[in-house]
Amino acid sequence: MSVRELVVLGTASQVPTRTRAHNGYLLRFDGVGVVVDPGEGTQRQLTLAGARIGSVRHVLITHAHGDHCLGLPGVLQRLSLEGVAGPVHVRFPAAATPYIERLRDATLYHDHTEVVLHPDGPGVVWEGPGPFRIRAVELSHGPAEHPVPTLGWRLEEPDGRRLDRARLQRAGVPPRARSELVASGHVTVDGRRVELREVSDPRPGQVVAVVMDTRDSDGAREAAAGADLLVIEATFLEADRSLAEEVGHLTAAQAAAIGRDVGARRVVLTHFSQRYSDTAGHLAEARAAAPDLDVVVAADLDRIPFPPRVGRG
């Protein structure tokens, strides 16, 4: 059975706290593991979460601040220790290249995993094997005079078709021919051509978006648009909005409003400043900004499932 879920590894921002590890996430998408923004301590958090690292094939880094990448050496070394051959693709903004290259070879170890570094810019950056393609979107982060190159990430499953068992039986398509039907779009049964569209319904692909360290901008909304699962920073509360705008971050109310406006189906708030001892205020602000939105305020080691497909019975 395929598993689609977000494993929350850490929810802190710049400074980890007693209850929040540095920012970090594992997306489990039909057997493919994607680590996003491995902050310091990610390797240990994976262990505490009971998450096996052997399925990891992609590491996505939004930008080169330490709370989003200091755990990269531990993740890569753990992959080698576990005997993962790879390839494992590490993607990051092109401007972050010197920092990621240093983290790639930060210490001496037995390096057995094929790791491929990808300095990326906006656009589709992966359409290889697997259930999704990866798209990067440019975000706006940092003070206006010193912007920090940052990318939002989208995992986009292609639209497909859902076979209808009753129509398959009426058309006389045997089980052994169904793989060919899906792959080719048609199959011949007793001399008659059966088209895939005759025995199936549209199945919309699912989209997961990760939006970190950005002010409210066109880029943030493009990255989040129509996401089934949106993981988005909510570093500050509205009382500190001027500070959020100064340093290029979102408040909980802004994050929820983005999710509401772009049609996100489940919104996970995370990346909380150490100035807040709890996240009750974040939940209250988000619900006030978007009362009908499915909002989850993340805690370390949470497992949050993707919402069911639209139209699933």
User: Is the whole model's pTM more than 0.85, yes or no?
Assistant: yes
CATH architecture of the region 4-159+204-305: 4-Layer Sandwich (3.60)
In this prediction, residue 311 carries a pLDDT of: 57
Outline which parts of the chain fall under CATH 3.60.15.10: 4-159+204-305
Q: Using the 8-state DSSP alphabet, how is residue 254 labeled? A: H
Of residues 30, 37, 67, 105, which has the active-site annotation? 67
Residues 6+ apart with CB under 8 A from 301: 7, 8, 9, 45, 48, 49
Q: What is the pLDDT of residue 145?
A: 86
Residue with tokens 């993340």: 298
Hey, which bits of the chain come out as E strands? Answer: 4-10, 24-29, 32-36, 56-60, 88-93, 115-120, 123-126, 133-139, 150-156, 160-163, 186-189, 192-195, 200-203, 207-211, 229-233, 266-270, 295-297, 303-305
Q: pLDDT (tens digit, 9 = 90+) per residue, 141-163?
A: 999 888 999 999 999 999 989 89
Percent of the chain scoring above 90 in pLDDT = 94
State yes or no: is 294 an active-site residue.
no
Tokens of 304: 């949050």
| Out of 62-66, 77-81, 83-87, 199-203, least confident range | 199-203
pLDDT of 308? 93
What is the per-residue pLDDT for 169? 93
Burial of 98 (0-12, 13-18, 19+ CB in 10 A): exposed
